[in-house]
């Protein structure tokens, strides 16, 4: 009996010890669960705060862009920082502080200004900084820009042999025949595209509405975009031509030379093919006259005229930026306050390396409706014009007169446009980082 009682007590003791061990394990596990739960909550809270601070910092960038847009001209030098609690009333969730750094003018053109904008968002003890590099927007960043895609009330068409590989914009609508290629961004203020094989029928919901007109859009297409008003005068260039540049009066001819000089003919100055360096600030303007231009450019230059500019031959860069490993800075702007005209005697295979602007009418071929079919007009840069000018005609799929078009974008024009090109009174983002 005594032995039996001892065994029973031993079993009870073992059971009690086991119970204690189980309870201890459960308590330890419960503590672990609590620790894991707390850690997960802390992690979730940190993620939430990180998301909040990034959102708040981005709000600071938005505010900075709005502030820049309200300034009469791009600010220069020291710029005050901007701080704001969010929300602006009640108990703030967090705050941002925006710091501007003026990075100067790329290429020495004071009409173009670049900024580093750093916005730091803060929620409690958590902070995050995001950075935008902004630059005043300018027309040279487009491969194609028009106020209207018609010439004297007649539609001008993109067709099968046309290829554009940079950003395009029209304040009207595009006219499409066949299968032209748009390899860059496409923006149209009108909410439709007109297709040749549907006559006057307009389709505002599809990018193509005819089996015979199927453009190849390889990037984003925005219909109904905001309008961008074109200037009527090259005011920056006019001013610069009298302040470190070259101002000519009356009809003039400029031949660009690969050695970084130019030959200039101007009756008012008594110059006949006079050789001289490019203007020190890269600005040349012809007042009360036309400008004839051709040749090979070495350097940075913008030429303008308040009448027409006539392109009489190839205009090339001495150092081709398209070559592998090229560090070429050769950049040309051509700005006419009238037309930019390709002369009838220009080569059948014609290349123009430049950003071309016709502020008051068009870029076009002289007598574009006659003379038979020519070769290809190659443009490396961009074409900006008030009315879309014709460079040839077609019948069906056959070219009848003028040039086929091969327009290629010079990506350098986005961040380093030619000197003194007109700006759009807006800003573009060159890059973004956090």
What burial class does residue 159 get, using C-beta atoms within 10 Å of its C-beta: 0-12 exposed, 13-18 middle, 19+ buried?
Answer: buried
Considering the domain architecture, whether residues 255 and 363 belong to the same structural domain is answered as yes
Considering the domain architecture, whether residues 294 and 337 belong to the same structural domain is answered as yes
**406 confidence band (pLDDT: 50, 70, 90):** confident
Query: pLDDT tens digit string along 8-60?
Result: 445 555 555 665 655 555 555 555 544 545 555 555 566 677 888 999 999 99
Count CB neighbours of 411 within 10 A: 13
User: Is 17 part of any domain?
Assistant: no
Considering the domain architecture, whether residues 96 and 231 belong to the same structural domain is answered as no
DSSP letters, 88-146, are: SSSS-SEEEEEEEEEEE-GGG-TT--EEEEEEEEEETTEEEEEEEEEEEEEGGG-SEEE
The neighbouring-strand residues paired with 150 are 155
CB 113 within 8 A of CB 135: yes
Extract the tokens encoding 428.
């573009």
Query: pLDDT tens digit string along 317-334?
Result: 999 999 999 999 999 999
| Strand, helix or coil for residue 365 | strand
Task: List the beta strands (DSSP E) in 30-86.
Answer: 82-86
Give the span between the Cα atoms of 32 and 397, in whole angstroms. Answer: 77
CA angle 309, 310, 311 (to 5 degrees): 120
pLDDT at 94 over 50: yes
pLDDT at 416 over 80: yes
Mean pLDDT, residues 299-307: 97
Q: Identify the H or E element spanning 403.
A: strand 398-409
First-to-final CA distance of the chain: 82
Extract the tokens encoding 51.
């998301």
User: Is 328 part of any domain?
Assistant: yes
- The per-residue pLDDT for 61 is 95
User: Is 198 part of any domain?
Assistant: yes
DSSP letters, 243-307, are: TTSEEEESSEEEEE-TTSEEEEEEGGGTEEEEEEEPPTTSEEEEESS-EEEEEEE-SEEEEEESS
Mean pLDDT, residues 174-201: 85
User: Is 433 part of any domain?
Assistant: no
Give the span between the Cα atoms of 116 and 431, in whole angstroms. Answer: 10
CB 54 within 8 A of CB 130: yes
C-alpha closest to that of 260 among 279, 283, 232, 245: 279
pTM for this entry:
0.83
Give the span between the Cα atoms of 338 and 335, in whole angstroms. Answer: 9
Query: pLDDT tens digit string along 156-169?
Result: 889 887 889 999 99
Considering the domain architecture, whether residues 192 and 329 belong to the same structural domain is answered as yes
Comparison of pLDDT for 68 and 46, the residue scoring more:
68
CB 82 within 8 A of CB 67: yes
Among the candidates 89, 117, 137, a domain finishes at 137
Considering the domain architecture, whether residues 114 and 147 belong to the same structural domain is answered as no
Sequence-separated (6 or more) residues with CB below 8 Å from residue 14 = none
Mean pLDDT of the chain: 88
User: Is 321 part of any domain?
Assistant: yes
Phi, psi of 348 (to 5 degrees): -65, -35
User: Is 10 part of any domain?
Assistant: no
Q: Identify the H or E element spanning 12.
A: helix 2-69
Residue 119: which CATH number? 3.30.1300
Comparison of pLDDT for 18 and 409, the residue scoring more:
409
Domain that holds residue 77: 55-137
**204 confidence band (pLDDT: 50, 70, 90):** very low
Considering the domain architecture, whether residues 124 and 179 belong to the same structural domain is answered as no
Count CB neighbours of 194 within 10 A: 23
Mean pLDDT, residues 226-250: 95
User: Is 287 part of any domain?
Assistant: yes
User: Is 305 part of any domain?
Assistant: yes
- The per-residue pLDDT for 276 is 98
Residue 392 Rama label (left phi>0; alpha psi -120 to 50; beta)? left
- The per-residue pLDDT for 203 is 46
C-alpha closest to that of 387 among 334, 338, 346, 344: 338
Comparison of pLDDT for 106 and 1, the residue scoring more:
106
- What domain count does the chain have? 2
Q: Dihedral (C-alpha) 312, 318, 324, 328: value to the nearest 10 degrees?
A: -110
Query: pLDDT tens digit string along 109-148?
Result: 777 899 999 999 999 989 999 999 999 999 999 999 999 9
pLDDT over 70 for what percent of the chain?
85
Mean pLDDT, residues 186-197: 90
- The per-residue pLDDT for 17 is 62
Query: pLDDT tens digit string along 350-367?
Result: 999 999 999 999 999 999
- The per-residue pLDDT for 41 is 55
Among the candidates 91, 119, 137, a domain finishes at 137
pLDDT at 80 over 90: yes
Among the candidates 93, 122, 137, a domain finishes at 137
């Amino acid at each position: 009996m005594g032995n039996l009682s001892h065994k029973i007590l031993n079993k009870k003791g073992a059971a009690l010890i086991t119970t204690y061990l189980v309870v201890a394990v459960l308590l330890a596990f419960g503590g672990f669960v609590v620790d894991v739960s707390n850690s997960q909550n802390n992690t979730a809270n940190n993620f939430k705060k990180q998301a909040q601070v990034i959102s708040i910092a981005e709000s600071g960038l938005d505010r900075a862009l709005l502030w820049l847009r309200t300034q009469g001209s791009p600010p220069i030098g020291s710029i005050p920082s901007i701080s704001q609690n969010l929300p602006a009333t009640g108990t703030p969730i967090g705050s941002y502080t925006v710091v501007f750094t003026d990075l100067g003018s790329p290429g020495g053109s004071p009409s173009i200004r670049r900024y580093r904008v750093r916005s730091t968002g803060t929620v409690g003890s958590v902070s995050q900084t995001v950075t935008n590099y902004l630059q005043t927007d300018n027309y040279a960043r487009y491969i194609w820009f028009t106020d209207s895609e018609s010439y004297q009330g007649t539609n001008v068409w993109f067709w099968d042999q046309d290829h554009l590989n940079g950003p395009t914009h029209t304040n009207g609508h595009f006219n499409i025949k066949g299968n032209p290629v748009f390899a860059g961004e496409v923006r149209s203020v009108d909410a439709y595209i007109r297709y040749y094989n549907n006559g006057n029928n307009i389709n505002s919901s599809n990018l193509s509405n005819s089996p015979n007109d199927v453009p190849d859009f390889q990037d984003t297409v925005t219909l109904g975009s905001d309008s961008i008003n074109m200037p009527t005068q090259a005011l920056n260039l006019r001013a610069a031509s009298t302040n470190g540049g070259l101002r000519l009066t009356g009809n003039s001819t400029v031949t660009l030379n690969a050695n970084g000089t130019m030959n200039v003919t101007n009756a008012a100055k008594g110059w006949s093919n006079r050789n001289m360096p490019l203007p020190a600030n890269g600005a040349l303007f012809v007042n009360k006259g036309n400008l004839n231009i051709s040749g090979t450019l070495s350097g940075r230059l913008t030429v303008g005229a308040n009448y027409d500019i006539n392109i009489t031959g190839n205009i090339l860069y001495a150092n081709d930026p398209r070559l592998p490993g090229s560090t070429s800075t050769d950049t040309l702007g051509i700005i006419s306050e009238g037309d930019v005209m390709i002369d009838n005697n220009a080569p059948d295979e014609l290349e123009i390396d430049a950003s071309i602007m016709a502020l008051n009418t068009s870029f076009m071929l002289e007598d574009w409706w006659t003379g038979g079919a020519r070769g290809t007009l190659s443009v490396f840069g961009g074409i900006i014009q008030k009315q879309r000018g014709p460079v040839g005609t077609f019948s069906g799929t056959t070219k009848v007169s003028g040039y086929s078009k091969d327009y290629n974008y010079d990506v350098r024009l986005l961040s380093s446009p030619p000197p003194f090109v007109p700006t759009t009174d807006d800003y573009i983002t060159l890059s973004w980082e956090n």
